[in-house]
Amino acid sequence: MNLSQSTKTEVVPHKPWVKGAHFIITLSFLALTVSGFVILMSHPRLYWGKAGNDLTPALFELPISRNYHHGGWDKSIPFKHVTGRQVTAARTYDIFNENGWGRSTHFLAAWFMVLTGIIYFIAGFYSGHFWRNLVPRRREFSLKLLCRDVAAHLRRHMHYTGKYGLLQKITYLSVIFLLFPLVILTGFTMSPAITASYPFLLKIFFGHQSARTIHFFAAVLLLLFLLVHVVMVARSGFKRNIWAITFGR
């Protein structure tokens, strides 16, 4: 990698459908993040397993709303015939709940994301974009090169070569083929109608609440990716890169 050479490399603009998908997915991802946060605010507790609620122990609680400190229960009634401490009890307080528009916005944005994602997948395979630009070549697969790439990123030595580095390829591939499918499938697993038709979803994610927890962590990883992605784009030539992915010809 020669710096003087790389700075002279011409900007390779992306294909229109890559740019279009980028636009729509970025916008719907932001809408999903905001509305997802609003939904999480009405019950900021996460569980593992088939079911979980305020009366059962949580995996952990996020201090992101007043519902984090909940306001107590009226007299609880034990289930006499069930062993253990299972009870039913009524909440004595009003919670923060903006889930009306929160959920509808979430699902509307999810439609945009999923439909665009399907077109992107088909076009990506059909045009050879994934194979040509994202799948690492055999000669790239060496621990030495990967270490050098990581070290270069850590030392903030970014070179623009017009092609993706190994670290970049691995990240993009895991976001496209791992994180996005995971976040969509765990989202489906929270739907009572979908899991009635496809109960295997509840099995592979260990239940409704586990799916919700995995959905949360996958979303956090996607958000981290977005942040790092934007920082990297900015560091390796903000104007040029943004132009290439937006209006560049």
* Interface residues toward other proteins, by CB under 8 A: 39-40, 42-43, 45, 50-56, 73-74, 77, 79-82, 85-91, 95, 97, 99-105, 107-108, 111, 190-197, 199, 202, 208-209, 212
- Cβ 96 to other proteins, closest distance in Å? 10
CB nearer other proteins, residue 79 or residue 131: 79
* DSSP 3-state of 61: strand
- Cβ 246 to other proteins, closest distance in Å? 17
- Cβ 12 to other proteins, closest distance in Å? 22
DSSP string computed for 18-57 = HHHHHHHHHHHHHHHHHHHHHHHHH--EE--SS---TTS-
CB nearer other proteins, residue 130 or residue 205: 205
CB nearer other proteins, residue 77 or residue 231: 77
**Can you give the C-alpha Rg of the chain in angstroms?**
23
**Contact (Cβ atoms closer than 8 angstroms) between residue 46 and residue 211:** no
Cα 198 from Cα 187, distance rounded (Å): 13
Give the burial class of 120: count Cβ atoms within 10 A of its Cβ; 0-12 exposed, 13-18 middle, 19 or more buried. buried
- Cβ 223 to other proteins, closest distance in Å? 18
HSE-up (13 A, CA, CB side) for residue 1: 15
CB nearer other proteins, residue 56 or residue 161: 56
- Cβ 52 to other proteins, closest distance in Å? 6
CB nearer other proteins, residue 218 or residue 241: 218
